Amino acid sequence: MPSFDIVSKTDKAEVDNAVAGVVRELGQRFDFKGAKCTIEHKDNVITIVADDAPKLSQMQEMLKVHLTRRKLDVGCLDWGTDERAAGDARRQEVKVRQGIDKELAKTIVKAIKDSKMKVQAAIQGEELRVTGKKIDDLQDAIRLVKGLKIEQPLQYENFRD
């Protein structure tokens, strides 16, 4: 039976390269000279530390730009709340999403079932498998899922006859 998988993967190496680009830009920008602003990436968590709130928002924008240059979707980031660090400094943890969480998977499966298409969707860990008798039905299912307003970037792979 034809099938395909819906997954959400983010290339860790490209995220590392984007963070390295932000670090280089921090060293070159005049408005960040003498500032104690840092950004680092460990275990799917990017930690941003800035001197104050305006610099934090500038660093967020730089991160978004560098991720976009690396052809990564900014929707893969889960922005945490910014909190106070020492003095006026601000700290923010940004999680890089990997895999489809249960709530999003249930939403996608429900949308596929409600559409009355002749396909079945099954949750398999952090991915979804969609099967059907006709390839055209599977392509319609892909169009349906793309039409949903989901912030997290999704990839469609393992398309089999």
pLDDT score recorded for residue 161: 79
> What's the pTM?
0.84
Fill in the DSSP letter of residue 32: G
pLDDT score recorded for residue 108: 93
Q: Which domains does the chain have, with CATH numbers?
A: 3-8+99-160 (3.30.70.860), 12-96 (3.30.70.990)
Which residues of the chain have a pLDDT value below 50? none
pLDDT score recorded for residue 159: 87
Helices vs. strands in the chain: H and E counts, helices first: 4, 9
Query: 35: alpha, beta or left, given left = phi > 0 and alpha = psi -120 to 50?
Result: beta
The rounded distance, in Å, linking the Cα atoms of 2 and 141 is 12
pLDDT score recorded for residue 93: 95
Question: For residue 123, which of 3, 35, 5, 2 has the smallest C-alpha distance?
Answer: 5
